[in-house]
Structure 1
Amino acid sequence: MADILANALRFHVHRLPAVPAVPAVPGVPGDGAGRTVVFLHGLVVDNLSSFYCTLAVPAAQAGHDVVLYDLRGHGRTERPPTGYDTATAVRDLTALLAALGLDERPVHLVGNSYGGTVALHTALAHPDLVAGLVLIEPPLSGPWLENMLDTLSVAALALEGSEVPRELASLGARKAARLTATADALLNRTSLIDDIAVSRPLRPEDFARVRCPVLAVCGEHSELVPGARELARHAPRCTVRVLPGLGHDVLQGGTEEVRRAVLDHLAEAARQQADQATEAVPV
């Protein structure tokens, strides 16, 4: 783990090298490893740890270099009072990739919930930087955004001045106390809610500009399924996978199914890259 300075902010970053490395492909620059895969987590109480065992370690074992980081204000990354809009999140990510020396070749982005929104916006703003997208329960519709803002606002009011974090700590529930304190700090002492409130939902014409391969994974009972299917109607290379019996918590409730879907998607992308490289090698 390391702290990396990017976009004038200190980010908490964890990298997992590919183990084992994929055999070298003639004509492909680099050491033969699969693509770099960057994981982006969700809002408020989430951080990079939600991906570590569920997807990150399996991706590294499948031959991909893995990058996980805590988003602005989350986990162990610095928590400035402002800058929680999607455009700034995209600048954070691109600056972080540059600081890590990973801006020379396209990377795959895997985003859960709000992390999927950041990933999609990054692909639109920097198409040459993104080789592919995996969007797990991505919030792509206006109604979901309104519901989320209502939920965050209610949570902010409940946490303001609350003794819950101290009480949890006194009971020995240190992790729960830490997460509750983080949520209070983000919701009540930063511009996070206001920044999200002014975000513009993506439209069909935006989806049509997404040219990289996209896998959207949703739970059967999630209110985000219509948005994912709308994305697939307009993005030319998008596939939607709906997991039966699950809701928004597919990463926890359907870990094995999500893992298989993500690794299959990355493997197919690697095969296509290898085929393209082989065709480009002079005979």
Structure 2
Amino acid sequence: MAEILANGLRFHVQRLPAADVPPSGTAAGGRDVPVVFLHGLVVDNLSSFYCPLALPLARAGHEVVLYDLRGHGLSERPASGYDHLGAVRDLLALLSVLGLDGRPVHLVGNSYGGTLALHTALARPGLVAGLTLLEPPLSGPWVENMLDTLSVAALSLEDSQVPAELLSLRLRKQAKLTAVADALLNGTTLIDDIAAGRTFTPADYAGLGCPVLVVCGEHSELVAGAAELARHAPRSALRILPGLGHDVLKDTGGVLLGAVLAHAAAVRRAATGALIV
């Protein structure tokens, strides 16, 4: 399934079925808790998850859903609706169309996708069986710095000839990404919508009832905010990946994949009560 209509918009969606594995493997109950991925902002899309995490999870017996967020990748790009409330509504509508709205899901979010996953868990605690948050921007100062960066990028791209120049050099992928960034930053309310969002509090973290795994790079500016979440969320764990910053999906040592696979299995056990060997 490549395109579905949800919440009045066309979304690019990829759905990977859980692989069949021997009874002694880890697939028992695997279809009961789909793993849903949420990517980061502007130039990111569902493809960033595909090889590092999505395919290995499907091969390990987990049903996987990936989609391009509103305005990103191949999904439709409306002029407005980029606040976290809109993102939660988009996700809930997608799950309904996919026939998954009556089942608990495990949300895996990278960067701003982690923020959206956390908002979803707080808004619909009965829906979210587990969270995996990769480099989530949680603290106010970091979000403000991100908004400043996006604003500067928007100004630099406005009426820019960069996409045309990249095309003239036959750098089609770079030209497309630049054009998407320009359309999002200068043609939608994305920056204003994110700026209007609220930050999280220790009370929010304390109210999380599901298992939470937070992963940050050793050199990331987000470690402090992740550590605060881990201190207050009752069922949380924090993993720090050595040598990395805000790029944990580039881990080549298998530490990230191992941690996510183990957490996904734990979320499934907790949600289904299935005996997983």
Instruction: Name the TM tier (shorter chain).
Output: over 0.9
> How far 1:273 moved relative to its partner?
4.5
| 2:81 maps to which of 80, 83, 92 | 83
Whole-angstrom CA distance in 2 between matches of 1:80 and 1:110: 24
Q: 1:231 to 1:89 in 2, by over 3 A?
A: same
| 2:183 maps to which of 170, 174, 185 | 185
> How far 1:253 moved relative to its partner?
4.0
Q: How many residues align?
A: 273
Look up the equivalent residue of 1:197 and give its one-letter code.
Answer: A
Q: What residue number does 1:15 align with? A: 15
Other structure's SS at 2:267 match: helix
Whole-angstrom CA distance in 2 between matches of 1:35 and 1:22: 19
Q: What residue number does 1:261 align with? A: 259
After TM superposition, which residue ranges in structure 1, 4 or more long, deviate above 3 angstroms?
21-24, 30-34, 271-274
- For structure 2, list consecutive stretches of 5 or more residues without a partner in the other structure: none
| 1:157 maps to which of 155, 158, 177 | 155
On the 8 A contact 1:22/1:63 being kept in 2, the answer is no
TM-score, reference length from structure 2: 0.94
Other structure's SS at 1:221 match: coil
> How far 1:256 moved relative to its partner?
2.5
Look up the equivalent residue of 1:100 and give its one-letter code.
Answer: L
TM-score, reference length from structure 1: 0.92
Tell me, yes or no, if structure 1 residue 33 matches structure 2 residue 37: no
> How far 1:23 moved relative to its partner?
4.3
Other structure's SS at 2:126 match: helix
On the 8 A contact 2:138/2:225 being kept in 1, the answer is yes
> How far 1:35 moved relative to its partner?
2.0
Greater shift, 214-223 or 32-41, is seen at 32-41
Q: What residue number does 2:5 align with? A: 5
| 2:104 maps to which of 100, 103, 106 | 106
On the 8 A contact 2:31/2:63 being kept in 1, the answer is yes
- For structure 1, list consecutive stretches of 5 or more residues without a partner in the other structure: 25-29, 279-283
Q: What residue number does 2:197 align with? A: 199
> How far 1:192 moved relative to its partner?
0.4
| 1:139 maps to which of 126, 137, 142 | 137
Look up the equivalent residue of 1:260 and give its one-letter code.
Answer: G
Greater shift, 253-262 or 64-73, is seen at 253-262
> How far 1:268 moved relative to its partner?
2.2
Q: 1:131 to 1:23 in 2, by over 3 A?
A: farther
Whole-angstrom CA distance in 1 between matches of 2:182 and 2:253: 28
> How far 1:120 moved relative to its partner?
0.4
Whole-angstrom CA distance in 1 between matches of 2:164 and 2:244: 34
Cα deviation, 1:182-210, whole Å, max 9, x if unaligned, reads 00000001000000111110111111111
Matches within 5 A, 1:50-61: 50-61=48-59
Matches within 5 A, 1:196-235: 196-235=194-233
Q: What residue number does 1:96 align with? A: 94
Q: What residue number does 1:27 align with? A: none
Other structure's SS at 2:44 match: coil
Whole-angstrom CA distance in 1 between matches of 2:254 and 2:122: 29
Q: Using the aligned pairs only, state the percent identity.
A: 69
- Over aligned residue pairs, what C-alpha RMSD do you find? 1.8
Q: 1:100 to 1:206 in 2, by over 3 A?
A: same
